[in-house]
């Protein structure tokens, strides 16, 4: 722990100093501004639109941080060989991975907290300025749940990126692979539901393959509670608890695999 935390703090500081983060922050601020203006284009579900845009801003900023900033930070360590300096001390490869991962998570947390505060302000402004029936059934608790699970999703995606970074020779390949996993992860549940409802006609072989795929790829739709938050729909606590457990085991397993591969990687 004595090695992991300083490494995490260093990664956080490095990330906060990075110019890319400033760009992401400006984009996020613009989108937050849009989330207060765009709802006025609608007639009824104005609150829903504001929450949609606000939560999507958090997701998008998190994705940009993971896919560009985090990959850049770790890739730079490998490219510029600065990783040797760290590993030359008493830091093990596992500690290096965990420290970096924790640092990226802290970076995500910082961005998440900043944007969540902005979203809260937006919702408060809308609640104060618009008639009460505009945000019908709105629930702060559901919004908090949605934000929390969104953060968990970002951490899971970060673990996917770390997994690919552990063995890919180029961080562009890791970026492409992680991006593909993200796309599959967000769509896999919809495809399964469509297959179950026979909306998509496919061969039996492909259906069977889908059954296998779902065990490998993360089901990111499970963490998407935007619709629940936007409409104040009832939350099933049991499902949320199971989703949390799923997140915990999947992320931990992936981190273990990351450490396993990274320990065997030849750092030349």
Partner 1 sequence: MIRRVGFFTLFFLLATSHVLTFMRMENARVHDALAGRLQQIKPVMPPALARLTAGEFKGVMADFMTIEAASAIGRYLMQPGVRMRDLPPQAWDVIYEILETSQMLDPYFSDNYRLVQPFFAWEAQRPQQAIFFLKKGLEARTWDWELAFFIGFDYFYFLDDKVQASHYLQEAYSRPGGTGSITLATLSAKLLQKAGKTEIAMAYLIGLLRQENSEMQRKAIELRLRDLQGVLIVERAVVVYTQRFGVPPENVELLVKTGILAAVPENSYNKMPYCIDKHGAVFFDNPECRNSTPSKISR
Give the one residue of 8, 21, 24, 49 binding partner 1; rule: CB under 8 A. 49
Give the one residue of 67, 226, 251, 258 binding partner 1; rule: CB under 8 A. 226
| Residue partners of 40: CB distance under 8 A and separation at least 6 | 46
Give the one residue of 38, 210, 240, 257 binding partner 1; rule: CB under 8 A. 38
Site stretch for partner 1 (CB under 8 A), options 69-77, 163-171, 172-180, 192-200: 192-200
Name which of 191 and 235 has its Cβ closer to partner 1: 191
Dihedral angle computed from the Cα positions of residues 70, 72, 75 and 79, in that order, rounded to the nearest 10 degrees: -160
Task: Please tell me whether residue 186 binds partner 1 under the rule CB under 8 A.
Answer: yes
Q: How far is the CB of 158 from partner 1 (least distance, A)?
A: 16
Distances (CA, A) of 34 to 20, 24, 30, 133: 21, 15, 6, 22
| Residues making up the chain, counted from first to last | 268
d(CA 51, CA 266): 46
Q: How far is the CB of 148 from partner 1 (least distance, A)?
A: 15
- Tell which positions 115-174 bind partner 1, by CB under 8 A: 137, 153
Q: How far apart are the first and last CA of the chain?
A: 27
Half-sphere exposure (Cβ direction) of 11: Cα atoms closer than 13 Å: 33
Name which of 51 and 259 has its Cβ closer to partner 1: 51
d(CA 88, CA 139): 51
Site stretch for partner 1 (CB under 8 A), options 47-55, 97-105, 122-130, 201-209: 47-55
**Is the Cβ–Cβ distance between 103 and 70 less than 8 Å?**
no
Binding-site ranges for partner 1 (CB under 8 A)? 38, 41-45, 48-49, 52-53, 55-56, 59, 137, 153, 182-183, 186-187, 190-191, 194, 199-200, 220-221, 224, 226-227, 230-231, 233
């Amino acid at each position: 722990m004595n090695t992991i935390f300083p490494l995490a703090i260093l990664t956080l500081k490095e990330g906060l100093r990075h110019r890319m983060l400033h760009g992401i922050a400006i984009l996020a601020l613009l989108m937050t501004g849009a989330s207060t203006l765009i709802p006025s284009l609608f007639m009824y579900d104005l609150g829903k639109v504001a929450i949609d845009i606000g939560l999507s801003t958090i997701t998008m900023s998190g994705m940009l941080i993971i896919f560009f900033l985090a990959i850049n930070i770790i890739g730079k360590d490998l490219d510029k060989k600065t990783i040797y300096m760290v590993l030359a001390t008493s830091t093990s490869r596992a500690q290096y991975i965990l420290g970096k991962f924790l640092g990226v998570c802290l970076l995500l947390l910082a961005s998440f907290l900043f944007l969540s505060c902005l979203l809260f302000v937006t919702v408060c402004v809308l609640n104060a300025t618009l008639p009460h029936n505009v945000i019908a059934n709105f629930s702060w608790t559901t919004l908090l749940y949605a934000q929390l699970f969104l953060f968990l999703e970002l951490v899971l995606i970060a673990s996917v990126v770390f997994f690919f970074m552990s063995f890919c020779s180029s961080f562009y390949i890791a970026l492409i692979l992680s991006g593909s996993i993200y796309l599959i992860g967000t769509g896999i549940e919809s495809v399964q539901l469509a297959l179950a409802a026979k909306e998509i006609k496919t061969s039996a072989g492909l259906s069977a393959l889908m059954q296998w795929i779902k065990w490998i790829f993360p089901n990111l739709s499970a963490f998407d509670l935007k619709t629940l938050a936007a409409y104040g729909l009832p939350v099933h606590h049991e499902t949320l608890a199971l989703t949390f457990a799923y997140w915990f085991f999947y992320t931990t397993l992936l981190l273990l695999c990351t450490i396993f591969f990274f320990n065997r990687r030849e750092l030349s």
